[in-house]
Amino acid sequence: MAITEARRFVTALLAAWPGIEDAELIVSELATNAVRHSASGRFGGCFTVAVQADHDRIWLGILDQGGRRTPQPLPPQTDEEGGRGLALVAALAASWGVTGDDQGRIVWATLNLTPEKTAVR
Ligand SMILES: Nc1ncnc2c1ncn2[C@@H]1O[C@H](COP(=O)(O)OP(=O)(O)OP(=O)(O)O)[C@@H](O)[C@H]1O
Ligand SMILES: [Mg+2]
């Protein structure tokens, strides 16, 4: 499944990177969203995972095929109906955002490598 492959791609690429768990979670949420909420989820659709890793910072981007909906965190909900993915990404990421339009969007997030994370390895 493409979402599993997207996560494995990040896992393999960032094997030695101390922030890898957060990176895996973010890429899973964003890839799931691309398939569930954008035109990438149509038959024959696709999405692209882009990673830029620096020594102290990582940039993750999921490029989708656009569509009518717009990525936006939903207000906190008390039930189990979802709407938590982007709120989780926003909480984990140092920064995040969306570019593009209905023809294709990039939802991106950055993670900083903090000294505490370095110290536990
Ligand atoms: N790539 C995307 N393209 C278009 N709309 C998006 C995209 N990602 C998210 N959205 C919109 O933003 C909303 C919030 O996304 P979020 O990931 O927070 O919740 P969810 O996917 O509905 O539920 P959950 O992630 O908790 O299973 C979605 O319901 C959808 O309408
Ligand atoms: Mg989601």
Find the CATH number of the domain harbouring 43.
Answer: 3.30.565.10
pLDDT of res. 117: 58
**Lowest model confidence (mean pLDDT) among 25-34, 63-72, 81-90:** 81-90
d(CA 21, ligand 2 centre) in Å:
17
Residue 49 β-bridge partners = 62
What type of residue is 109? A
Tens digit of each residue's pLDDT (9 = 90 or more) over 22-46: 999 999 999 999 999 999 999 999 9
pLDDT of res. 57: 94
90 φψ region: left (φ > 0), alpha (ψ -120 to 50), beta (else): alpha
Model confidence at 119: pLDDT above 60: no
Specify the residue with its C-alpha closest to ligand 1, atom 7.
71
d(CA 65, ligand 2 centre) in Å:
16
Model confidence at 115: pLDDT above 80: no
Q: Domain total for the chain?
A: 1
Determine the structural domain holding residue 111 and report its residue range.
Answer: 2-119
Q: For residue 84, which ligand has an atom nearest its CA?
A: 1
DSSP conformation letters of 31-85: HHHHHHHSGGGSTT---EEEEEE-SSEEEEEEE----S----PPPP-SSSS---H
Which atom of ligand 1 is the closest one to the Cα of 38?
A: 3
For ligand 1, is residue 84 a contact (CB within 6 Å)? yes
